[in-house]
């Protein structure tokens, strides 16, 4: 049975975005898949495929205009686009961090600013913000990325307060490690810095690399299935931890002093 719910998803070329598109499409949703390069999603199952760079307002405006011309509404916005830059704060390239923030934070704000007026006129809507468990506690050499996901947490909490009166709900999804291109992109972005054996943070870089190689990662499709179920709920909670190992759930819940002591050993 065809579902009349229109879902706009950013960052659909791989990972959660790609899998979520196909799951929702199979469930009958009207799915609008977007990516910076629309060629990367040409074989994706979706109702509509559009080029959308969340860092460029004109791309966002054009894509949203196209959605409205076809479907007259947007019921759900999934802010999924994002990536990571790693490195000790003393050494990380600030320009790289700014570029990451353009996608992870400012791009999300621009999507919200463009779509919320439509939802406000509808007096309904849901915004699903893809954050990370790293938005709950920071790790050494991952401070820049963690800070962007801490920002997503704050944006989501503010949205809930601002939009409640217009019957618009929002939530943040906090996944653990997932089998996607995320870590491949991370390695490409940070390889030169993290392979520097003369760095005063070489021990941290080596430890992080080992951990990522042995870390258990969830399947993107399974994570997407859980997100689809969350999206269908009549009332969204503030946040949802998805595919987060128990040890990280426990770390997130620890008092600051214990959390810091534990993380120093990692």
Q: Which residues have CB under 8 Å from 84's CB, separation 6+? A: 100, 142, 145, 182, 185, 186, 189
- CA dist 121 and 73 (Å) reads 10
Token pair for residue 36?
A: 């910076």
Q: Confirm whether 145 is a catalytic residue.
A: yes
HEC readout, 116-159: HHHHHHHCCEEEEEECCHHHCCCCCCCHHHHHHHHHHHHHHHHH
CB 79 within 8 A of CB 108: yes
Helix (H/G/I), strand (E/B), else coil: 20: helix
Q: What is the β-pairing status of strands 178-179 and 218-219?
A: parallel
The one catalytic residue among 25, 29, 101, 145? 145
- CA dist 17 and 69 (Å) reads 23
Burial 139-165 (b: 16+ CB within 10 A, else e): bbbbbbbbbbbbbbbebbeebbeebee
Start-to-end Cα distance in the chain: 50
CB 146 within 8 A of CB 139: yes
Helix (H/G/I), strand (E/B), else coil: 191: helix
- CA dist 46 and 56 (Å) reads 23
Positions annotated as catalytic residues are 145
């Amino acid at each position: 049975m065809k579902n009349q719910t229109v879902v706009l998803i950013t960052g659909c070329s791989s990972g959660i975005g790609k899998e979520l598109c196909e799951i929702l499409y199979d469930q009958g949703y009207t799915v609008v898949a977007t990516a910076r390069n629309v060629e990367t999603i040409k074989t994706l199952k979706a109702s509509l495929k559009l080029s959308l760079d969340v860092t460029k307002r004109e791309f966002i405006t054009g894509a949203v205009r196209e959605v409205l011309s076809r479907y007259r509404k947007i019921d759900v916005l999934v802010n999924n686009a994002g990536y990571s830059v790693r490195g000790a704060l003393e050494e990380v390239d600030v320009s790289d961090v700014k570029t990451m923030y353009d996608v992870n934070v400012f791009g999300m704000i621009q999507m919200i600013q463009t779509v919320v007026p439509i939802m406000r006129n509808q007096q309904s809507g849901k915004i699903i913000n893809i954050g990370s468990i790293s938005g709950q506690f920071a790790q050494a050499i991952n401070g820049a990325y963690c800070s962007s996901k801490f920002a997503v947490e704050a944006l989501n909490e503010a949205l809930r307060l601002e939009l409640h009166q217009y019957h618009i709900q929002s939530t943040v999804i906090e996944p653990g490690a997932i089998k996607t291109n995320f870590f491949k992109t991370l390695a490409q972005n940070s390889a030169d810095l993290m392979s520097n054996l003369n760095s005063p943070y070489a021990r941290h870089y080596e430890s992080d690399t080992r951990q990522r190689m042995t870390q258990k990662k969830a399947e993107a499709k399974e994570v997407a299935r859980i997100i689809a179920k969350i999206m269908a709920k009549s009332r969204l909670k503030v946040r949802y931890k998805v595919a987060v190992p128990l040890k990280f759930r426990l770390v997130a819940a620890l008092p600051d002093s214990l959390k810091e002591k534990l993380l120093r050993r990692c």
